Chain A
Amino acid sequence: MTADSVVLRLDNVVKEFPGSPPVRALDGVDLSIGAGEMTALIGPSGSGKSTLMNVIGTLDRPTSGEVRIDGVPTVTLSDAQLAGLRAARIGFVFQQFHLLEGATVLDNVASGLLYRGQGRAKRRAAATRALDSVGLSHRLHYRPPQLSGGERQRVAIARAIVGEPAIVLADEPTGNLDTGTSESIIGLMEELNVAGTTLLVITHDQDVAGGCRRQVTIRDGRLVSDTASEPRRLTEVGAAL
């Protein structure tokens, strides 16, 4: 793995929340993710998964340590610069989708490019392509309340990839979905990974984690294991059922 291909690098990241005594949610995390990887971050609730996700996504700052996105050290960046970094280099997928209920599917996906200062026509053209890649070309003018849970998460994934970010962070992407739909979402993420998207999937679900070649386990704010294995492809999962 060359330095150029590392899209995410954490060096001794510590995150403490104030209190007495202070709560140490992340306790010296080192992590490196290369371009094109699909990594699962696994851990029970309260293990520090969400805190790590927020720190990696630059939504929260570490108490100490360094977070580099695409080679850029982030701790010295201003709030506005971090926003710009997120707009350009990070895609987010949330458990609760976080779609704009009042906007169409097309505009929801186009909003992934909103804060990059591009014109609307350009954003919509890119959004149309992204929706095509998640199999929702037929839903462009629907609004989120008219969609199923799986479709909503596909819209959210399309929004995350529309700007071709360095990394997509998916926080419990199947947490609100039934098993069958979950599998199709994992399958979609695998497809996107094969097509070149780097993904970090935060989950407590072993089935979801099983879809990822690399699995990182966090417990009590520390990474306790980091294993690489041949991922169980969706087809195999389907066959096992």
Chain B
Amino acid sequence: MTGSGYKSAWRSRLTAPDVVGVGLYGIRGRRGRAILTAIGISIGIAAIVAVFGISSSSKADLLAQIDALGTNLLVVTAGDTLGGDDSKIPVAAPDMARRISPVRSASAVAMLDTEVQRNKYDESPNGLDVYASESNLLETLEGTMTTGRFLDEETSTLPTVVLGSVAAQRLGITGLADLPTVYIGDQEFAVVGILDPLTLHPDLDRSVLIGEAATTTYLGADLYPTRVYVRTTPEHVDAVRSVLGRTVNPGAPNEVEVTRPSDALAARAQVDEGLQNLLLGLGGVALLVGGVGVANVMVISVIERRQEIGLRRAIGATRRHIGVQFLIESVTLTTLGGLIGAGLGSLITYVYAQQQGWTIVVPVTILGAAIAAALTMGAVAGLYPAVRASRMDPAEAVRPST
């Protein structure tokens, strides 16, 4: 204690509820201005929350799709030989693959060097491929039929085909009611089924599938697998992937490629990062401008409220009390803006995701971080005005205005 006789009971004190009450005094008296000031911050926060919300919702949707399709399907394709020629997958490849114990099923398709047409006389190109297929292909791909049935033991030996969804469309076949047929070479084949679209295998959507036995019988072609589809147990995908090449082509494991189609879909989840960063940058700029706006309004407020500051000093406020009062005011303004922005950003996400038919995902961490950012912005923006208010000379502040 400095100064003899100073009673500690005279210490200037403000209770915690009063610290808050005093901090909100300036906002209560100027609600319109408070809201306008908070809007700048809201826009920045809303943009950031919406960008994260929309990208999270989109990602969640893709991941849900991937989950539904399964990530446990591997595809073996023929690569290049050392000399650079096209290599061939051994005929025994599917059988070899099936011997790997975590492999649930494996099916080969062999592309045929021929074309499919609706009738004998049509020779226009239609971009459709013809594949010889094993009868368990549908099971391996976990595909479904739009109509009819897939090739089975019986139909695999007969001149019958199953059409991919795009192939059916291009050939003008919508159903099996009028017993449609197609021509491959000179041979007429009966259509017994049409496949639903296969999301991970758009190439098969554009294909016509024939049984292996029928291929040999009616088209007399050699059958070298073009691709082998391998479905594994989900836990052992990586293990199978690492041995699959060696297993199906022990002589030249380098000449086959093993891919996982779901990887491509997963990669799509990362694609929009550039746009996302741009929008985040814009949100950040809006936030910054909002913060400068708050600082500006606070400085004006300090000047306008000179006499209030003088009065408070006269009735016993310390410099610190005055500084804290203005700091709380600034933080309250930006936090208010942050809350409005978080709500607005969530709403934008909700509406957009609803339109896209996505599940709505607004990460709680982003909401928390956004509000924390607004709060920090308020502390930073309020610092200078608060210091300025606290340093105001009380004698000067109580001076009558003229």
Q: CA of A112 to CA of B398 in the docked complex: distance in angstroms?
A: 15
Query: Contact at B29–A101, with CB atoms within 8 Å?
Result: yes
In the assembled complex, the CB of B391 is this many whole angstroms from the nearest CB of chain A, namely: 10
Establish whether residues B400 and A115, one from each chain, have CB atoms under 8 Å apart when the complex forms: no
Q: Which residue of B lies closest to A111 (CB)?
A: B315
In the complex, identify which listed stretch (A6-14, A81-89, A189-197) lies at the interface while the others stay far away. Answer: A81-89
Q: A57-B314, A88-B316, A115-B316 are contacts. A96–B400 as well, Cβ < 8 Å?
A: yes
Check B2 against A59 for contact (C-beta < 8 Å): no
Bound Cα distance from A238 to B248, whole angstroms: 120
Kindly list chain A residues whose C-beta atoms are within 8 Å of the C-beta of B310: 59, 98
Q: Given B3, B9, B315, which contacts A115 in the complex, CB threshold below 8 Å?
A: B315
Query: Residue A119 at the B interface, CB < 8 A?
Result: yes
Interface residues in A113-132 (C-beta closer than 8 Å to B): 114-120
State the CA gap A25–B401 with chains docked (Å): 20
Whether B398 contacts A59 by the Cβ 8 Å rule is yes
**A74 close to B (CB within 8 Å):** yes
Q: How far is the CB of A38 from chain B (nearest CB, A)?
A: 20
For A133, the chain B residues whose CB sits under 8 A away are none
Residue of A nearest to B5 (CB): A72
Q: Which residue of A lies closest to B18 (CB)?
A: A114
Given A84-B11, A89-B10, A102 contacting B307 (CB threshold 8 A): no
A83 near B401: Cβ-Cβ < 8 Å: no
Q: Are A102 and B29 in contact (CB under 8 A)?
A: yes
- Can you list, as one digit per residue, whether each of B303-325 has a CB less than 8 Å from chain A (1) or not (0)? 00001101111111111110000
B residues 1-19 near A (Cβ < 8 Å) are 2-7, 9-15, 17-18
Say if the beta carbon of B268 comes within 8 Å of chain A.
no
How many chain B residues touch A (CB < 8 A): the figure is 40
Which residue in chain A gives the minimum CB-CB distance to B25? A102
Residues of chain B within 8 A (CB-CB) of A101 are 29
- Bitwise, A52-78 to B at CB < 8 A (1) or not (0) is 001001011000000000011110111
Chain A residue nearest to B308 in the complex (CB): A100
Inter-chain CA distance A101–B30, complex, in Å, is 11
Q: Is A181 an interface residue (CB 8 A)?
A: no
The reply to whether the CB of B394 lies closer than 8 angstroms to some CB of chain A is yes
**Given A59-B310, A86-B12, A87-B12, 12 more pairs with CB closer than 8 A:** A54-B398, A73-B3, A80-B12, A80-B318, A84-B10, A87-B315, A87-B316, A96-B400, A96-B401, A98-B307, A114-B316, A115-B316
Q: B residues bordering A, Cβ < 8 Å?
A: 2-7, 9-15, 17-18, 22, 25, 28-29, 307-308, 310-321, 393-395, 398-401
Task: Enumerate 17 A-B pairs (CB-CB under 8 Å) in ascending A order.
Answer: A59-B395, A60-B395, A73-B4, A79-B319, A80-B318, A83-B313, A86-B313, A87-B315, A92-B314, A101-B29, A102-B29, A103-B25, A114-B18, A114-B315, A115-B316, A115-B321, A159-B315
